[in-house]
Structure 1
Amino acid sequence: MMGCSDEEEQSDETNNKKQHKKKSKGEKHVSFPPDELIVSGFAEHRDNDRKEDCCVTLAEVIWAYKQSCSKHRVEPKECILQQLQQGVFVGGGVKCLDLKGERLDQRSCEALEAVLKSLHFDFINLQAAQLEENGASSLLDMILYYESTTHLDMSDSSSMGTSCWRALAHLIKQSVHLSRLDVCNLPLVDYPAQSLSKALLTSRLTVLYLHNAQLSGVPLYALVSALKSNRALKELHLSNNQLNSYQDALQLGDLLRYNQTLQTLQLSDNAVADAGLEELCDGLRWQTAGLKVLLLRNNQITADGMVHLAKALPVLKVLQVLDLSENLIGNKGIQVIREPLMQNVSVLQLSLQQTNITCEGVVALAEFLAESRQIQQLDLRQNEVKVGGLMALSLAMRINLSLTGLDVDHRLPQEQDEFLSETQTRLQSEIVQRCIANARCSDINTETSTTLPADAKGQGDNATTT
């Protein structure tokens, strides 16, 4: 028995020496429990830590940060000190920690633990931050362990390597409080695309920005494969990713068939085109409780693409916001979707800014307005809307009771005749006044419905329908 005890003591001593040697290598000085312990108990421990520190003042956090910098032999970042001095302290939280463009080596990142363990930030901005590989992964590990933020921006961080992507994926997968992530202007190909996609399988993120991330092709396929089963993400922003009209649009249409959680899909500044719009519309038909916002600004869509939209509009029950701006739809395209828009019962906001529309197309839209009972916003800026179009819109607004915002250019193309110019100004004013009147009625109805008892609300609804 004594021999066994001696062996155990020698073994413990050997392990301690090994651990001491590991610490002396100077790689990462921040260490946390194994993954299984973090998963099972980290949220509880961090909540307890936060409760213990909830009475800490910003002055005490500043002092702790300076002490931590001294310990790690780095100068305190002046921008961090200024933000902490000016920060609004509410129950352990500060609005923002802005480290945009800052140079942060490994020791500077590790010194930040004194701040991250005491305060919760609504937003941590690491956009274009100059991060060393080990320092970046340490910082992300700390943000996860202390649940330091609900919104993290890692955009333009060109120095991100494999270990940093691994730490970011782990953060996405495990974090309880992180709800929004921005990773824009970074190529999401190969390992980054795969690690991000796998993390999204179980992520609690609700908003994801991936602008200009080279997602066309295989990376988009990996992302969509994960999001088909994701039940947390509500907003996906994919503008400027060179998404094409065939393979990429096919994947996105497939996403809309299987995912009923996603509420906003931002696809602006891509090349979805008419063929791609057909795939999206086929997917939209399957949406029964999901997508409310579809943004297709500047996607090489023409009047031919409106044929596919015309087939989908009458059956859409969920989509509320549709942006077709900066596409060559023209008067022909508006004529194609005029009647389907009348049949649609869900779209509340329609943007047709800079879509090559003239008075002919505006008259068709005025006919839609006269029939619609739900449309609230219509954007016609940067189109050639002259007196004829304004007159049609003004007449439609005498009937329409739902539109509260009709955007046309304040400086419309000047008519040659002085009388027409005066008429143009008068019609614009009439349209504005009608929108204001509709907005007031809408506010009154909303206020009444929220103050009435439950039984009275039902009676009021029946009376309105009648």
Structure 2
Amino acid sequence: MTHCSDKESDEQSDDGEEKPDKNQKKKSKGGKHVSFPPDEQIVSGFAEHRSSDRKADSCLTLTEVAVAYQQSCSKHQVQPREHILHQLQQGVCVGGSVKCLDLKGERLDHRSCEALEVVLKSLHFDFINLQAAQLEENGASSLLDMILYYESTTHLDISDNSSMGTSGWRALAHLIKQSVRLSRLDVCNVPVVDYPAQSLAKALLTSRLTVLHLHNAQLSGMPLYTLIGALKSNRALQELHLTNNLLNSYQDALQLGDMLRYNTTLRMLELSNNAVSDAGLEELCDGLRWQTAGLRVLLLRNNQITAKGMVHLAKALPVLKVLQVLDLGENFLGNEGIQVIREPLMLNCSVLQLGLAQANITCEGAVALAEFLAESRQIQQLDVRQNEVKVGGLMALCLALRINQSLANLDLDHIQEQDDFLMETQTRLLSEISRRCLANAGLSGHATHTSETLPAEADEPADSVTTD
């Protein structure tokens, strides 16, 4: 790519050289001087210039773009990718915008990336998928520069590319920092440590990203500390997904809890499949108490949390004002844990969806949940799949729903009963539960107007019953 940007100034800053004040006037030998406008105006002007470049090509059809791509490949002496040509030939273009450019697994070397410039220049994509594209340093840097220059996408997935090198990460950080269109970024299954963590954190200080996925990125310890330092002052990010990062119960949870004290913009925090445990949950709950206008969704599935951890949650639940979705599935809570949070749940006025799938609950725990349901006026969804909730527990839940008028979804499993009478009773109770949930949904519109939902089960049983 031959276009220039202000990336060079960032490189100097990264190397430790002092960056000049953009508002400071500079004098030359001839007495001339220039002054730079604020960052926001620079970025705005940059975007407008790129938009004018795109308008010049907006009259191109997808077929013409495909031909231009083939010519570009010839110029750069690479073979056109059949998968890319197929997408251009079969896609639908609306006002210069296309839904997706899927380059997953395409193995893009430097020349292949350069050949893509005509495509990125001519079209805007809702999603560009570069997952496992085997990007090396020069190719990654060039391609990411193009995506920024032409503002080519709103969602970028660059997961499974572990060989981008320093230049590739510098280009990615520059894209995050400067793009006015990029709103979601996925960087999963890539070690975000040392320089990548530092460059990402620096970019997030001024980023417009609203959704960031960093699954399996080795963020435990210093990398997380570096990232949290930026997120404390970030005022744009709304969703942070950190599954499978081996986040621990002390240092990592302490940092996350500290972030929740200062960041009031974040709406969703996903921490599933880590090791937060009971001690870590205490740190998170301490941070949650400070959330008066922020976090709506907290996902803690499979985090080695037990009934002891519910003691800390019980202290926080009555004072939470904005948390709407709480997922504690795949933790060993047991009936004891449900008993601990039963009354605090009654006092809570914000939680709308509660996930307790595979939480080692039996009929005793279901009875405690039924007591909560009978008192609650706002709970909309409850997931108790993959628990041993048999007829006794179903009976209690059914009785509670004769009182409750808010629950629109109660997710349950068919449990194999030995006795025919018990099987008939179970079927009847499940049917009544379903009817009452549907009636509640019809009265309140919860089923169609809920803004956030619990994540679907990856291994949902074939005989699972849901009240949707």
Partner of 1:215: 219
Q: Identify the match of residue 439 of structure 1 among 438, 441, 447.
A: 441
- CA contact under 8 A between 1:224 and 1:251: conserved in structure 2? yes
The more displaced of 58-67 and 367-376 is 58-67
Q: Is the 8 A contact 2:394 2:426 kept in 1?
A: yes
TM-score by length of 2: 0.87
Distance 2:416 2:350 in 1: 33
- Which residue identity is paired with 1:285? R
Give, in whole Å, the separation in 1 of the partners of 2:115 and 2:338: 59
- Structure 1: tracts of 5 or more residues without a match: 1-28, 448-466
Which residue pairs with 1:31 in the alignment? 3
% identical equivalent positions: 80
More helix by share: 1
Question: What residue number does 1:171 align with?
Answer: 175
Amino acid at match of 1:417: D
Q: How does 1:25-424 map to 2 (within 5 A)?
A: 29-35=1-7, 39=43, 41-409=45-413, 411-414=414-417, 416-424=418-426
Could you tell me which residue of structure 2 aligns to residue 10 of structure 1? none
Equivalent position amino acid for 2:2 in 1: V
Shift in Å, 1:67: 1.5
Matched position secondary structure for 1:94: strand
* Contact 1:65–1:111 (Cα < 8 Å) also in 2: yes
Bigger Rg, structure 1 or 2: 1
Alignment-mate amino acid for residue 275 of structure 2:
A
In 1, Cα distance between equivalents of 2:441 and 2:5: 56
Would the alpha carbon gap of residues 122 and 240 (structure 1) be closer, same or farther in structure 2, given more than 3 Å must change?
same
SS of the equivalent of 1:121 reads strand
Corresponding residue for 2:29? none
Q: Identify if the C-alpha distance between structure 1 residues 113 and 345 changes in structure 2 by more than 3 Å, giving closer, same or farther.
A: same
Amino acid at match of 2:425: T
TM-score by length of 1: 0.87
Structure 1 residue identity aligned to 2:283: E
CA deviation digits over 1:192-218, x for unaligned, max 9? 111111110000000000000110000
Contact 1:128 1:156 in 2 (8 A): yes
Q: How far apart in 2 are the matches of 1:363 and 1:353?
A: 16
Instruction: Provide closer, same or farther for how the CA distance between residues 161 and 91 of structure 1 changes in structure 2, counting only shifts above 3 A.
Output: same
Contact 1:209 1:237 in 2 (8 A): yes
- Asked if structure 2 preserves the Cα contact closer than 8 Å seen for 1:74 and 1:107, the reply is yes
1:361 and 1:446 mapped to 2: Cα distance? 29
Runs of 4 or more consecutive aligned structure 1 residues displaced over 6 Å after TM superposition: 444-447
Cα offset, 1:140, TM superposition: 0.2
Segments of 5+ residues of structure 2 without an aligned counterpart are 10-35, 37-41, 450-468
Distance 2:150 2:4 in 1: 11
Is 2:416–2:423's contact at 8 Å kept on the other side of the alignment?
A: no
The residue matched to 1:304 in structure 2 has which SS? helix
| Equivalences, count | 417
Deviation readout 1:375-421 (Å, 9 max, x if unpaired): 00000001000111000000000011100000011x2131x322121
Q: Describe the SS at the equivalent of 1:131.
A: coil
Q: CA deviation at 1:444?
A: 9.8
Question: CA–CA distance in 1 between the matches of 2:147 and 2:270?
Answer: 28
